[in-house]
Amino acid sequence: MAAAGARVFGLDFSPGMLAKARAKPGAGAVRFVQHDLATGLPFASGSMDRVTCCLVLEHVADLASAFAETSRICRAGGFVLVSDLHPAMRLQGTQAQFTDPATGRKTRPAGARHQLSDYVLAATRTGLHIDHMSEHVVDDELAARSPRAQKYLGWPLLLLMRLRRS
Ligand SMILES: C[S@@+](CC[C@H](N)C(=O)[O-])C[C@H]1O[C@@H](n2cnc3c(N)ncnc32)[C@H](O)[C@@H]1O
């Protein structure tokens, strides 16, 4: 989006994750902001054409406030794109995790147990209209391409929502 001429902000509360984002190609054109989504978003109301929130909400307890904030900063006619680990993954015991390279220890960041209806109600109660919503199941083709996905064959892995601001 930045390469296409958009003014892009990238927000995360983790200095380590921001450092990784800053190291990516093209990051020089993006303004990075360290901020906790749980305390609102540091942008003016209606100031954004597009708001994307990728793989973050599974870590945020108050879904209603998070959607209210993304809706608030999006201009009328703009849209909000949300992707998240599908709630079914939590039910079958999967959540985000990484291995600490220093200690080799597995770390699981705090996660929230949202249901699909929580996403739908939180979004639609803030003036956002669902343009598109899809649940992406691991099929044979993905399992063949990604050995890590094989154990989730037949399970919905990803939730995607495109929400238009009225
Ligand atoms: C799975 S990573 C996704 C990173 C990036 N959005 C992407 O799609 O590549 C989840 C991110 O959510 C961030 N995060 C979790 N809770 C947050 C909060 N309350 N405010 C801001 N960022 C948060 C974490 O620091 C982490 O970088």
Q: Tokens 């495109």 identify what position?
A: 162
From 35, 39, 56, 107, give the residue whose CB has the most ligand 1 atoms within 8 Å, as the site to mutate.
56
Mutate-to-test residue for ligand 1 from 11, 12, 32, highest number of ligand atoms within 8 A of CB: 12
The CA-based dihedral angle spanning residues 62, 136, 10, 96, taken in that order and rounded to the nearest 10 degrees: 60
Per-residue pLDDT at 96 exceeds 80:
no
Share of the chain above pLDDT 70, in %: 100
Topology of the domain comprising 50-165:
Rossmann fold (3.40.50)
Asked if 66 and 57 touch (Cβ cutoff 8 Å), the reply is yes
> Strand 74-85 to strand 98-99: parallel, antiparallel, or no bridges (unpaired)?
unpaired
**Which has more confidence, 90 or 29?**
29
Evaluate whether 39 touches 46 at the Cβ level (below 8 Å): no
Q: What is the pLDDT of residue 8?
A: 98
Dump the DSSP string for 90-130: HHTT----EE-TTT--EE--------HHHHHHHHHTTTEEE
Q: 30 pLDDT exceeds 90?
A: yes
pLDDT digits (tens, 9 = 90+) for 131-151: 999 999 999 999 999 998 899
The domain spans of the chain are 1-35, 50-165
Tokens for 115, please give them.
Answer: 């249901």
Q: How far is the CA of 153 from the centre of ligand 1 (A)?
A: 26
pLDDT at 106 over 90: no
pLDDT of residue 99: 87
Average pLDDT over residues 33-56: 97
Length of the chain equals 166
C-alpha span between 13 and 156 (Å, rounded): 28
* Residues 155-164: tens digit of each pLDDT: 999 999 999 9
| C-alpha 163 to ligand 1 mean position (Å) | 20
| pLDDT value at 110 more than 80 | no
Give the CA radius of gyration of the chain: 17
Predicted confidence (pLDDT) at residue 21 exceeds the cutoff of 90: yes
